[in-house]
Amino acid sequence: MHVMILGGTGNIGAAIVNQLHQQGATLSVLCRSTASCQKAESMGATPLQGDLCDPTRWARHLQTADALVHVACNFDHAMAATDHHVTTAIIEQAKIRSAALKVLYTGGIWCFGSADEVITEQTQKAPVEAFRWMVENGQKLQNAQGLETQIIHPANVVSFDQQLIPSILHHELADTGSVRVPVDKIHHWPRVEVNNLAEMYVLALSGGAAGNEYLAAADGGTRLEDIAAPLMPEGSNPVEVLPIEYWTQKYGHWASGYACNQQVSSQHALDTLGWQAKHF
C-alpha cells in the first residue's frame, strides 16, 4: 500500500510513519523544510517538498497513492482556512482518480466539547469554537464522492518521555516554575499514548470501514490534579488553577479546548478495529 501522509514528521505523524514502515508500506510524507525532508528519509519515507498551505504544489501526488493520512494542523489563526484548502484539494483530486482514495482524517476529542456523560461516537458533537471547522471538514470528506473516509478523534496525546502528562503542563512548569492547570483541577482529561494512537491509524487503514469515526483514549478521563501530580516535588506549592483566558492569550484561541471536562469510551475502536488500549 502506498500511503501519503500530511503531518508525517510531527508528533503523531512520525509514530504512524514508523509503524507503517515496519509493515512494509510505501510512504510519501509532505515536508516543508530541509530538516523535515531529512527526518522523513530517516524514517524510510519519500519526502514531498511542499507547504500544507499551498495544496497546488503537492495534491497531484494523491493520484498515485492508495491512501491518505491527514494529521497536520498548524495551530495558528489561519488553521481553519488552511484545512479548508487542503480538504477541498483532496476532494478535487478524488474526482479525477480511477479508484476511490482511502482517507484517514484527524478530528479531536474537543469536537465533542464538555459533557456530563461518557462521550462515545454517538454523542452529539458540540465543538469548541476554535475547532468547529474540524467537524465541518470531516463531514465534507465523508460526503465526497471517490473518498472512503474515516475519522479518528484523539484524546490528549501524551508520551512516556513526558510521564504521560500533556505537553502544555510541561511548558507551563518550564516557563513559570509552577504547576498550572486550566479552569478547575477536578476537570477530567482523557489521554492516549502517541504510539498506541498510531496503532489505531494503522488498524483503520487495513481494516476500517468508510464512514466510521473512532475515539482514541486509553485513559478515559483522569482528574487534572492527578495528571499534574507527578510534576510536583515534595513540599512544593499546590496546583495553581488559572482561567482559560490565560491559556488562550498565551498559546492561542485553540487552547480553549483545555477547558473541556470529558470522560471518553473507546469501546467502538476496540470492538471494530481490534485496537488494544494500553492503559497507564
Which top CATH class is 2-158+190-220? alpha beta
Q: What is the mean pLDDT of the chain?
A: 96
The pLDDT value recorded for residue 237 is 76
Q: How does pLDDT run across 143-155, given as a tens digit for each residue?
A: 999 999 999 999 9
State the average pLDDT over residues 78-104.
97
Beta strands in 26-93 (DSSP E): 26-31, 46-49, 67-70
The pLDDT value recorded for residue 51 is 95
- Tell me the pLDDT band of 161, cut-offs 50, 70 and 90: very high
End-to-end CA distance of the chain: 32
State the average pLDDT over residues 57-79.
96
Q: What angle do CA 251, 254, 259 make, to 5 degrees?
A: 90
State the average pLDDT over residues 22-40.
97
Q: How does pLDDT run across 34-56, given as a tens digit for each residue?
A: 999 999 999 999 999 999 999 99
Q: How does pLDDT run across 209-221, given as a tens digit for each residue?
A: 999 999 999 999 9
The pLDDT value recorded for residue 214 is 98
Max CA-CA distance within the chain? 65
What pTM was estimated for this model as a whole? Answer: 0.97
Q: Where in the chain is the domain with CATH 3.40.50.720?
A: 2-158+190-220
CA neighbor of 87 nearest in space, from 65, 62, 64, 122:
62
> C-alpha cell of 162?
513526558
The pLDDT value recorded for residue 235 is 63
Residues 279 and 219: beta-carbon distance below 8 Å: yes
Q: How does pLDDT run across 223-275, given as a tens digit for each residue?
A: 999 999 999 877 677 899 999 999 999 999 999 999 999 999 999 999 999 99
> C-alpha cell of 225?
490534579
> C-alpha cell of 176?
513559570
State the average pLDDT over residues 161-176.
96
